[in-house]
């Protein structure tokens, strides 16, 4: 399965030493995570541009859910709609539901990462799926979600991330 990220994301704790371009990109990504319309449109356009050579007409696009339904909707509903229109893909936003609220990924244990997610297996069974997430650091959340989608009978063909966390290492 193909996995890729469009950008490198500089974490907040590293932004003080980051370049202007890195700070600007980090700001855009955080605005996207807040569900701001301009950032959502920007993210959908960038993702659509990177996927433009792939025929997605028979592919369902779904996003890795956030910690609650409100955040998931705010962050991904407009994004998924815009991206699917631009890529001629099937919008799978409504196939995933977050029940209640869980701890955010950086706080939660690995076992409880997606324990409150419901997937409509009737709509995903036997379908090609493209999974999208905003930021990947370790990839554990995406991997857990991909397993859930595959257990629902879907064939996950590709995973795309808006950005991957850029870590800077010091060598002594």
Residue 38's pLDDT is 95
Cα atoms in the Cβ-side hemisphere of radius 13 Å centred on 113: 17
Global pTM reads: 0.88
> CATH topology for 2-165?
Rossmann fold (3.40.50)
Q: How many CB atoms lie within 10 A of CB 154?
A: 24
Query: How many helices (H) and strands (E) are present in the chain, helices listed first?
Result: 5, 7
Domain boundaries, the chain: 2-165
Partner residues linked to 131 by β-bridges? 62, 159
Indicate the pairing of strand 2-9 with strand 155-165: parallel
d(CA 49, CA 45): 6
pLDDT (tens digit per residue) in 30-81: 999 999 999 999 999 999 999 999 999 999 999 999 989 999 999 999 999 9
Q: Strands, DSSP E only, in the chain?
A: 2-9, 59-63, 90-91, 96-98, 117-119, 128-136, 155-165
Say if residue 134's pLDDT is above 80: yes
Partner residues linked to 27 by β-bridges? none
Q: How confident is the model at residue 169 (pLDDT cuts 50, 70, 90)?
A: very low
Least confident piece of the model among 14-18, 69-73, 123-127? 14-18
Six token digits for residue 57: 């007409």
Q: How many CB atoms lie within 10 A of CB 66?
A: 22
């Amino acid at each position: 399965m193909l996995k890729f990220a469009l950008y490198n994301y500089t974490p907040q704790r590293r932004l003080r030493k980051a370049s202007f371009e890195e700070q600007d990109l980090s700001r855009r990504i955080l605005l996207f995570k807040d569900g701001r319309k301009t950032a959502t449109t920007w993210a959908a356009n960038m993702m659509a541009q990177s996927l433009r050579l792939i025929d997605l007409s028979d592919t369902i696009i779904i996003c890795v859910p956030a910690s609650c339904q409100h955040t998931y909707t705010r962050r991904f509903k407009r994004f998924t709609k815009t991206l699917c229109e631009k890529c001629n893909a099937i919008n799978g936003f409504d196939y995933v539901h977050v029940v209640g609220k869980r701890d955010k990924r950086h706080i939660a244990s690995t076992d409880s990462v997606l324990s409150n997610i419901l997937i409509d297996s009737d709509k995903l069974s036997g379908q090609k799926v493209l999974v999208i997430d905003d930021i990947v650091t370790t990839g554990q959340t995406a991997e857990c979600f991909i397993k859930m989608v595959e257990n629902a009978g879907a064939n996950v063909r590709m995973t795309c991330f808006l950005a991957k966390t850029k870590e800077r290492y010091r060598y002594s």
